[in-house]
Amino acid sequence: MGTDLHLIRAARREFTGPAVLLDDPVLRERAGEYLTDLVRPSGLRVDAAARGQSYGEMAAELIGALVPEDEPVDLLVLAFAVHDALPGRATAAYLSHVCPGTPMSFALCDQGSAAAFTGLRIAAAHAYRRALLVVVEQSVLPYDPGVAVPDQHRAVALLLGDGPADDGARITAVRQHADVGPDDVATLAAAELRALGAGDPDVAVVLGAGLAAVGPPLGGPVTVAPPGQPSTGVWWALLDRLADDAASRVVVVDYDAELRYLCLVATSTDRP
């Protein structure tokens, strides 16, 4: 689908250490009890010494740096795949409270790396003057999930609007495909990338680590998001590409092999 969303500005941050909220022994005990009850049916044990990060704390820092008081937000979307250190907390509602404009807010999860793309698609489908997409992931779980977790605590926030952007960047297309098998993803990804201009000298491509493994044939400049940050990796790399004067258009594409989602976002700037 096409969009009229402009990327007004963006922020990103890497966080070290555990959530400050976990300094409170009462909150820490409650979180441990909550997780213990959740994982017990799977035969897992909770390590009380493991302390992760809070998406509320992470996102609040980016909101403070990104959204002035005189630029109220209408919609806030929190996208994540790994639960945070306080999984029983209504984090999206809390972020609405700390964000200028007290926006309508909700969280997107259980979609793997597709969650942020879905957030952009929802923002584009409704007439919001300003929307804030916050993509977060944290790297510490107090039990063995049986799969790899992110390498670092990271967050990326995109402030989007229906007016001109500070740097001229705008979202021109959001495309999502469900139930794409590993045998079909390279062909479909290559076709979609060609349709969005990949191969032209002024079009840069950001490949998610999940898609780089299957390697759709491409021309033009290509950046592969490093492994280990499945939710924030491509958005972190997108901000680097948008700052590169050599490309007037950037296409982001990622594939979640476990959930079989193929997602693309195309951006354009006013640079000739």
Are residues 211 and 177 located together in one domain of the fold? yes
For residue 179, give the CATH number of its domain: 3.40.47.10
Are residues 238 and 218 located together in one domain of the fold? yes
- How confident is the model at residue 105, as a pLDDT? 97
261 is a domain residue: yes
Tally of structural domains, the chain: 2
CA distance 174 to 221: 20
Are residues 111 and 230 located together in one domain of the fold? no
- How confident is the model at residue 169, as a pLDDT? 83
Q: H-helix or E-strand containing 123?
A: helix 115-125
Of 98, 130, 161, the last residue of a domain is 161
Are residues 47 and 26 located together in one domain of the fold? yes
215 within 8 A of 195, measured Cβ to Cβ = no
Q: Is the pLDDT of residue 272 over 60?
A: no
Closest CA to 145 of 43, 32, 28: 43
Task: Tell me the helix, strand and coil percentages in the chain, rounded to 5.
Answer: 30, 25, 45
Whole-prediction pTM: 0.93
1 is a domain residue: no
Phi-psi region of 179 (alpha: psi -120 to 50; beta: other; left: phi over 0): left
Distance of CA 241 to the CA centre of its chain: 16
Name the DSSP class of 61: H
- Give residues with Cβ within 8 angstroms of 223, minimum separation 6: 204, 205, 206, 207, 237, 240, 241
Are residues 12 and 114 located together in one domain of the fold? yes
Are residues 49 and 143 located together in one domain of the fold? yes
Are residues 245 and 146 located together in one domain of the fold? no
pLDDT digit string, tens, across residues 163-215: 655 556 889 999 999 999 999 999 999 999 999 988 787 888 999 988 887 77
3-state secondary structure of 221: coil
Of 135, 161, 187, the last residue of a domain is 161
CA distance 31 to 69: 33
| Domain around 65 | 6-161
Confidence of residue 82 (pLDDT cuts 50, 70, 90): very high
- How confident is the model at residue 243, as a pLDDT? 85
217 is a domain residue: yes
Are residues 125 and 17 located together in one domain of the fold? yes
- How confident is the model at residue 140, as a pLDDT? 95
pLDDT digit string, tens, across residues 136-154: 999 999 999 888 899 999 9
| 69-to-21, 66, 102, 119, 260 alpha-carbon distances in Å | 25, 10, 11, 23, 40
Are residues 53 and 89 located together in one domain of the fold? yes
Are residues 153 and 90 located together in one domain of the fold? yes
Q: Is the pLDDT of residue 271 over 60?
A: no
CA distance 8 to 195: 26
Are residues 116 and 209 located together in one domain of the fold? no
Of 102, 137, 161, the last residue of a domain is 161
